[in-house]
Amino acid sequence: MAIQWCDNMFVYSPDFTRQSKLATSCLAELNELCERDYEQSYFPVSIVCLDLDAYEASCTGNNDATMDAAAGMADWQKNHFSNNRHLLIELRFGYRSTSNFDLGNMKQKVSHSRDILNPERINEQVVFIYKPNVAAQASNYFSRLSRQDSEVRTWKAMDVEGFGNYIVDRVTLPYEAENDLDKLVKELSQKFDEGGLSALDSLLKYWIEQMEKYNLRYKHAESDAVAKSMLTYLQTISIQKDTFEGEYLAMRIEEISRFVQSE
């Protein structure tokens, strides 16, 4: 099922992770940490991260508490990354309830992980991932504590499915067209209503030229989006096929179809 765009969508930023000062010593994938600590993979996608436990053990010689991982994340607007930063992640699949939560230890993990990554950008919110039944309990637990403890207000408890909705792979997001496609279709419809196919054709030629320019700049996704919108409208026009106008419309449809990218 396609993921629907929303304003607060976050995406993975693996290149930001790979550029970290820690990457040469502790680059990993989140499922590798799961397999090491819980003997199974939990995440359906590959998530590049920094293994903070491994870094602390092998590079500092200390055994101070850290979050399990830091994964690159970013905001995604108009098909571009912005505000790259680290997301601190703690895997807690072994917990069965909140009764043995150690608040002091959890705070130490967050604080020390921030110190390790400093001065690199770090997301304000941190994530603790549990099995589904415990995630709901932990979320309520954090909510109660946050009324008196401002630090806990930045903690989010979730299960794997919730994490998959919180941050996603950008390739799963729909393309956001630069042009207002609804406005484009409306303009096509107005032209045809005003003067038929002859009036519409000047606008079709204009957009064919624009799509050619997009392709020259390797903006194939934009020409694809424009072409699909135009074709959707043109296929609603009722003109007898064996007339001059019908043949001309079919020619334009064929011409525009070449800008549609193969799936």
User: Which one of 143, 172, 201 terminates a domain?
Assistant: 172
Average pLDDT, the chain: 92
Has residue 8 got a pLDDT over 80?
A: no
- Same domain for 225 and 109? no
- Same domain for 160 and 50? yes
pLDDT at residue 263, rounded to an integer: 65
Q: Is residue 1 part of a domain?
A: no
pLDDT at residue 5, rounded to an integer: 41
Q: Identify the domain containing residue 202 by its residue range.
A: 181-257
- Same domain for 86 and 214? no
- Same domain for 87 and 64? yes
In tens, the pLDDT along 196-206 reads 888 999 999 99
In tens, the pLDDT along 101-123 reads 999 999 999 999 999 999 999 99
- Same domain for 205 and 232? yes
By the 8 A CB rule, do 47 and 12 touch? yes
- Same domain for 145 and 198? no
Q: Is residue 2 part of a domain?
A: no
pLDDT at residue 97, rounded to an integer: 95
Mean pLDDT of all residues in 66-82: 91
- Same domain for 129 and 196? no
- pLDDT band at residue 53 under the 50/70/90 scheme: very high
- Same domain for 159 and 34? yes
- Same domain for 158 and 188? no
- Same domain for 214 and 234? yes
pLDDT at residue 117, rounded to an integer: 97
In tens, the pLDDT along 150-173 reads 999 999 999 999 999 999 998 888
Structurally, how many domains does the chain consist of? Answer: 2
Higher per-residue pLDDT: 242 or 7: 242
pLDDT at residue 4, rounded to an integer: 44
Q: Is residue 117 part of a domain?
A: yes
Mean pLDDT of all residues in 255-261: 95
Q: Is residue 246 part of a domain?
A: yes
Instruction: Provide the whole-model pTM.
Output: 0.75
In tens, the pLDDT along 119-151 reads 999 999 999 999 999 999 999 999 999 999 999
- pLDDT band at residue 1 under the 50/70/90 scheme: very low
